[in-house]
């Protein structure tokens, strides 16, 4: 879940093509989104899964902005450089999580959790686990309690977007009115994605609609629409007081939707609801960027949401394995007590991942100066592959822990 667009800890954000002020409110939005997801998976916020769409919209907006900025300054989009930076940003934490989750599933998981962890790991590595789950008919709402990597479907969607969308932008980068072409393509693509969601979302099992890259591309592409200069230019004309009021209203609306939505028990989610939610999130994003001095932006960009946003990628990676393996052992603490402990453990792991793995590799600092970072990540990847190969695939038994209330 995206949560994967640039986050700079203690630095000024740099968009390719020039230096721009870092918008703390966007970090805060990312923090709010990951908090919603954590509460949802703990069974404490029924509609918190909608935070993923906020992640998607943020990623589409920020990545498209970087691509368009590069195209404007360099008259091209250097795809290899873009993909290399994405890999350096995303792979270290992902490899660490997989390398820890596999032996943790062996040590503390059920037979089903270990078996499916071993089966799903190659698909996680290939960034196609969402289609693996769809093909295997692994119902998101019913069966994810046995899948340590169930949450990786959204990361796979974003990776697939990062592979395809930069190529589209690169193809039009040298054309006249490139920004308008990107706007048109992204807008049309979001409508096609909506049409597919309307068609596939009517099924009894909505997993195909929920996890499909084509059906979830709408949020990413709406974010891309908002990143184009024609849209941003229009938004800049909005008076500051009006933009601030609109941001407050949108934040309130998003929060209410998270409180009242009940997953697949709310059919409207798959009959246009996700699209409307993503559209509202996109409008909020572009308003916060173009009018960043309002009260709503100050609230969202305050210290706690911003910190959560800075660690959101790692926090998202770690929280689900922690929930599956730890929460059943915290039943005596009650739902809120167990969730508090599991979230605290996830936060510690996320902060450690950012501080000691992600940031050094990303910025080539500390122990990861020069080529040491990529070499360590490569060695860790090899280790994870060896571990995956030697772990025995157990036969399913009757020891599966029932924690379906978490999903």
Contact call for residues 294 and 243 (beta carbons, < 8 A): yes
Residue in 164, 266, 284, 276 with CA at minimum distance from that of residue 214: 164
Helix 213-227 and helix 51-74, axial crossing angle in degrees, nearest 10: 50
Answer whether residue 253 is part of any domain: yes
Give CA–CA dist 404/407, Å, rounded.
6
CA 291 from chain center: how many Å?
Answer: 24
Give CA–CA dist 140/404, Å, rounded.
11
Tens digit of pLDDT at every position of the chain (407 positions): 544 444 444 333 333 333 456 789 999 999 999 999 999 999 999 999 999 999 999 999 999 999 999 998 888 899 999 999 999 999 999 999 999 999 999 999 999 999 999 999 999 999 999 999 999 988 888 777 889 999 999 999 999 999 999 999 999 988 889 999 999 999 999 999 999 999 999 888 899 999 999 999 999 999 999 999 999 999 999 999 999 999 999 999 999 999 999 888 888 999 999 999 999 999 999 999 988 788 999 999 999 999 999 999 999 999 999 999 999 999 999 999 999 999 999 999 999 999 999 999 999 898 989 889 999 999 999 999 998 999 887 776 544 444 434 43
Rg, the chain, Cα only: 20
pTM: 0.91
Answer whether residue 9 is part of any domain: no
**What pLDDT, on the 0 to 100 scale, is given for residue 204?**
84
**What pLDDT, on the 0 to 100 scale, is given for residue 127?**
95
Helix 334-353 and helix 24-41, axial crossing angle in degrees, nearest 10: 140
Answer whether residue 406 is part of any domain: no
Its domain, for residue 213, covers: 14-391
Answer whether residue 138 is part of any domain: yes
Question: Apex CA 315: angle with CA 294 and CA 254, to 5°?
Answer: 40
115: buried, middle or exposed (CB in 10 Å: 19+, 13-18, 0-12)?
Answer: buried
Answer whether residue 152 is part of any domain: yes
**What pLDDT, on the 0 to 100 scale, is given for residue 6?**
42
Q: Output b/e per residue, 304-317; b: 16+ Cβ within 10 A.
A: ebbbbbbbbbbbbb
Answer whether residue 399 is part of any domain: no
Give CA–CA dist 141/211, Å, rounded.
11
Question: Got the DSSP string for 49-70?
Answer: GGHHHHHHHHHHHHHHHHHHHH
3-state helix vs strand vs coil in the chain, percent to 5: 75, 0, 20
In 10 A of CB 272, how many CB atoms? 14
18: left (phi over 0), alpha (psi -120 to 50) or beta: left
**What pLDDT, on the 0 to 100 scale, is given for residue 397?**
54
Residue in 204, 198, 202, 168 with CA at minimum distance from that of residue 186: 168
**What pLDDT, on the 0 to 100 scale, is given for residue 16?**
35
Q: How many domains does the chain have?
A: 1
C-alpha pair distances (Å), 348 with each of 51, 308, 319, 342, 354: 21, 12, 10, 10, 10
C-alpha pair distances (Å), 181 with each of 59, 184, 229: 19, 5, 11
Answer whether residue 76 is part of any domain: yes
Answer whether residue 382 is part of any domain: yes
Interacting residues of 210 by C-beta distance below 8 A, sequence separation 6+: 140, 216, 270
């Amino acid at each position: 879940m995206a949560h994967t667009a640039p986050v700079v800890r203690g630095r000024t954000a740099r968009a390719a093509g020039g230096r721009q002020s870092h918008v703390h409110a966007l970090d805060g939005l990312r923090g709010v989104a990951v908090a919603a997801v954590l509460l949802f998976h703990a069974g404490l916020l029924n509609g918190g899964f909608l935070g993923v769409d906020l992640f998607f919209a943020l990623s589409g907006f920020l990545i498209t902005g970087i691509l368009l900025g590069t195209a404007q300054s360099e008259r091209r989009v250097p795809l290899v450089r873009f993909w290399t930076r994405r890999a350096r940003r995303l792979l270290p934490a992902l490899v660490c999580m997989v390398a820890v989750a596999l032996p943790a599933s062996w040590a503390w998981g059920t037979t089903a959790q270990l078996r499916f962890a071993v089966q799903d790991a190659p698909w996680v590595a290939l960034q196609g686990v969402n289609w693996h789950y769809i093909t295997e008919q692994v119902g998101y709402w019913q069966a994810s309690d046995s899948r340590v990597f169930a949450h990786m479907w959204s990361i796979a969607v974003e990776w697939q977007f990062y592979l395809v969308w930069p190529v589209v932008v690169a193809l039009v980068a040298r054309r006249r009115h490139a920004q308008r072409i990107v706007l048109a393509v992204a807008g049309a693509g979001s409508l096609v994605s909506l049409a597919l969601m309307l068609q596939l979302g009517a099924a009894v099992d909505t997993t195909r609609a929920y996890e499909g890259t084509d059906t979830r591309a709408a949020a990413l592409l709406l974010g891309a629409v908002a990143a184009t200069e024609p849209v941003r230019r229009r938004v800049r004309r909005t008076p500051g007081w009006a933009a601030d009021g609109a941001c407050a209203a949108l934040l309130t609306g998003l929060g209410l939707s998270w409180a009242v939505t009940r997953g697949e028990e709310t059919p409207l989610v798959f009959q246009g609801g996700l699209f409307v939610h993503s559209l509202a999130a996109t409008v909020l994003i572009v308003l916060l960027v173009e009018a960043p001095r309002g009260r709503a932006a100050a609230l969202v960009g305050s210290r706690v949401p911003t910190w959560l946003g800075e660690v959101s990628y790692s926090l998202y990676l770690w929280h689900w394995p922690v929930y599956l393996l730890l929460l059943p052992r915290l039943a005596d603490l009650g739902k809120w007590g167990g969730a508090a402990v599991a979230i605290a453990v996830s936060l510690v792991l996320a902060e450690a991942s950012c501080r000691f793995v992600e940031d050094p590799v990303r910025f080539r600092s500390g122990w990861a100066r020069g080529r040491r970072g990529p070499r360590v990540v490569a060695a860790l990847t090899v280790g994870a592959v060896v571990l995956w190969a030697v772990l025995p695939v157990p036969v399913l038994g009757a020891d599966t822990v029932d924690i379906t209330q978490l999903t």
